[in-house]
Amino acid sequence: MRTLLACLCLLLLGSAQAMAAELRIDLGHGVRTYRSEQLLQRRDARDIDIPDDVAFHRAMRYRAVPVLALLDGVAPGDHLQFIAADGFAAEIPAGLLLNRQGSEAWLAIEDPARPWPLLAGGKGGAGPFYLVWTRPGAAGISPEQWPYQLAAIRKLENVAVRFPAILPDPALPADSPARRGFAVFQRTCFACHTLNGEGDARLGPDLNIPHNPTEYLREDLLRAFIRDPQSLRRWPEAKMQGFPTQQALSDADLDALLAYLRHMAGRRHSP
């Protein structure tokens, strides 16, 4: 009996270890791999409370480490991409992680022995790694800058260098609404969508090929769709969550985003 129990314990321990996940970080000087159990045991790991979690829409507590502790040598001018297992690719300037307004980025780590609850809507789990923020409003962190199911972090050139076909006309004035909308697009849409066939995200359709949404949706319907996709087309399996609040996307930023999309409808490029 004692031998049987010992074997059972070893089997369960092996199963838990097999579930331990890996996060790959590439900052340009070699890929580093972190296992979940290694991160959970770090001296700087601590329990943090998130009062209004973006993914779970309620208060959550996580075991987490400061993201900057894993990003040695990152400078304010650097650009980082956070890649999720489902094809979501959040483009986050390093300056946002280094902000002094009070927002702090944390890598939440799912303990295989104590898994997080499943996400609503059949989206599965948020683990094994999830970028969360304390005091996100202080630095204007958007919902798209909370990537879950995180698999890798890498330092890259900024999106303007990597994907020139998404740029607005360089002749536009500096204060053009379309230029402001380009910044909004990078923060809110580019994590899920490509444009003119360019981008690393694989979660949503291209927003200019074969047609731009401003070409086939009335502006009032497009606004409603961006705010709440289910208000236009009810689909339980839909992945787009929308931007229902002013904190997620202000009316001014939504105006600018639509200006950018309308502008890019005239700058269609084949991929």
- Cα separation, 265 vs 262, in Å, equals 5
**pLDDT tens-digit readout, 30-50:** 999 999 999 999 999 999 999
**What average pLDDT does this structure show over 153-157?**
96
User: Looking up tokens 């089997």, which residue turns up?
Assistant: 11
User: For 108-152, how does the pLDDT look when each residue is reduced to its tens digit (9 = 90+)?
Assistant: 999 999 999 999 877 889 999 999 999 999 998 988 899 999 999
Q: 104: which 2 tokens?
A: 């702090």
Domains of the chain: 20-156 (3.90.420.10), 162-265 (2.60.40.420)
pLDDT at res. 36 = 96
pLDDT bucket at 19, cuts 50 / 70 / 90: low
Contacts 24+ apart (CB under 8 A), 102-105: 102/135, 102/138, 102/139, 103/133, 103/134, 103/135, 103/136, 103/137, 103/138, 103/139, 103/141, 104/66, 104/133, 104/134, 104/135, 105/66, 105/67, 105/68, 105/131, 105/132, 105/133
Query: What is the pLDDT at residue 237?
Result: 63
pLDDT classification of 236: cutoffs 50, 70, 90: low
pLDDT mean across residues, the chain: 89
**Residues 221, 243: Cα–Cα separation, whole Å:** 14
Cis? peptide before 210, omega within 30° of 0: yes
Residue 241's pLDDT band, with cuts at 50, 70 and 90, is confident
223 Cβ contact list (under 8 Å, min separation 6): 254, 258
Give the mean model confidence (pLDDT) for residues 214-226. Answer: 94
Percentage of the chain lying above the pLDDT 70 cut: 91
Distance CA 132, CA 136 (A): 9
pLDDT of residue 123: 80
Angle between helices 251-265 and 177-188 (to 10 degrees): 100
The span from the CA of 265 to the CA of 244, in Å, is 25
Between residues 258 and 202, the one the model is more confident about: 258
